[in-house]
Amino acid sequence: MSRREAVNSGLDKMKQAEEDIAKMKIDLAAKEIVLVEASKVSAELLEEIAASTAKAEKKRNEVSAFKDKLQTQADIIKKDKDGIERDLLAAKPALDEAESALSSIQQKDIQGLKALMSPTYFIKLVFDGVLLLRQRTLEKWQLGPPQKEIPTCVDSYSGYAIPMMGDTKFLTELMEFNKDAITDETCELLAPYMDLPDFIVEAARKASGMAAGLMQWVRAMVTYHWISKEVIPKMDALAKAEAMVSAANKKLAAAQAELDEVQRELDLMQEKFDEAMADKQRLQDEASLTKRRMDSANALIHGLAGEKDRWTTQSKDFADKIARLVGDRAMSCAFMHILALSTKNSVRSCSSNTLRLI
């Protein structure tokens, strides 16, 4: 590359650098405007996030407190329920025995009892109990045998027990008996029977194996009533408490759904904020890079300011020389031609003189 080309190339690069700096200034100004807007957007998003976070935290605390309160209620209910189940469990053996006893009674056993011409006093007691539990009609009360001193009914066995046994659904109705319908009054009427030392299953088996199952059923029903009398109010209270907990759970679910929605909005807002911050950082990086390039280019141009003047002068000189080159060459050629002609004439003159001398 010639000296002229090198100088002109350097000037062209400096000119390009100046043009690039001008473009970078415009680009940087535009980026700074966008950066200011991005900073404003991110600041607004940050304020919204702060407000939403406070709202979400408040809702989270409310839900947490609600959960704790609900859990405390649930623990209390579970404890009460366990106690009730234990109470009911105390009645279960008697009920199981009653069911087993009734299952062991066959229709032929009932027919056998019904066919007794002279049932024992004990069998009459058993059927008094069955009639009382089923709230069937009995004859007027009177004192029993002197040695027993308990009330019984006159002719209740033949008048009411035998017709009751004659019903083909007798055993089925006993199996399906609504034990929760037993009243305190019925159990109070049965109390004298229950207090008898001989009013037990073992004694019933001795008197009549067929009546033992009915005896066991009567005692089981009375036992169940007195246990359930205490348990049922607890069960009602438990049912109400469980209903309250169920309603509270629905409220908790609604509150949790509201919290989830708030959290979802907060997450979306956080995503927008992260995107805005990333965009802001990108713009900041681009602006910083543009500024560094512009500063570097300015520093280079300022550093070469002296060289630029010198190169500009040299470029002009080169241009002038090139512009005069054709004329200079023409003049040189003319001069050389004149010189050649002059030399030729001189040679001819010299030769003529020489010949004349010879």
Quote the CA–CA distance of 186 and 354 in Å, as a whole number.
185
Location of structure tokens 């190339």: 9
- Both tokens assigned to 112: 């056998």
The predicted structure's pLDDT at residue 143: 44
Query: What does the angle CA 199 – CA 202 – CA 203 come to, to the nearest 5 degrees?
Result: 50
Stretch among 76-80, 290-294, 351-355 having the lowest mean pLDDT = 351-355
pLDDT at 37: 81
Q: Mind listing the pLDDT tens digit for each residue in 57-103?
A: 887 888 888 888 878 887 887 887 787 777 767 767 767 776 777 77
More confident residue, 240 or 153: 240
User: How far, in whole angstroms, is CA 168 from its chain's centroid?
Assistant: 60
Please check the confidence at residue 12 and state whether its pLDDT lies above 60.
Answer: yes
Answer for the pair 129, 218: CB distance below 8 angstroms, yes or no.
yes
The token pair that represents 260 in the structure block:
């989830």
Confidence of residue 23 (pLDDT cuts 50, 70, 90): confident
CA dist., res. 160 & res. 163, Å (int): 5
Q: Which of 124-133, 137-146, 184-193 has the lowest mean pLDDT?
A: 137-146
Q: DSSP strand E in 31-177: where?
A: 141-143, 151-153
Residue 153: C-alpha distances to residues 25, 92, 121, 135, 222 (Å): 120, 31, 11, 14, 19
Could you tell me which residues come within 8 angstroms of residue 300 by beta carbon, excluding any fewer than 6 positions away?
A: 17
> H-type helices in 135-208, by residue range?
156, 162-166, 170-175, 184-195, 201-207
**pLDDT greater than 80 at residue 261:** yes
Q: Is the pLDDT of residue 351 over 60?
A: no
Amino acid 321: pLDDT: 65
Q: SS3 for 322?
A: helix
| Residues 6+ positions from 205 with CB-CB distance below 8 Å | 212
* Lowest mean pLDDT across 107-116, 223-232, 325-334, 341-350: 341-350
Question: Who wins on pLDDT, 4 or 188?
Answer: 188
Q: DSSP character for 352?
A: H
Read off the pLDDT of residues 33-42 as tens digits, 9 standing for 90 and up: 877 887 787 7
What is the rounded CA–CA span in Å between residue 204 and residue 195? 15
Q: Give yes or no for residue 147 having a pLDDT over 50.
A: no
Answer whether 0.75 is exceeded by the pTM.
no
The pLDDT > 70 percentage for the chain reads: 74
276 or 7, which is more confident? 276
Both tokens assigned to 180: 């929760």
Quick one: tokens of 291?
């500024």
The 10 Å Cβ neighbour count of residue 96 is: 11
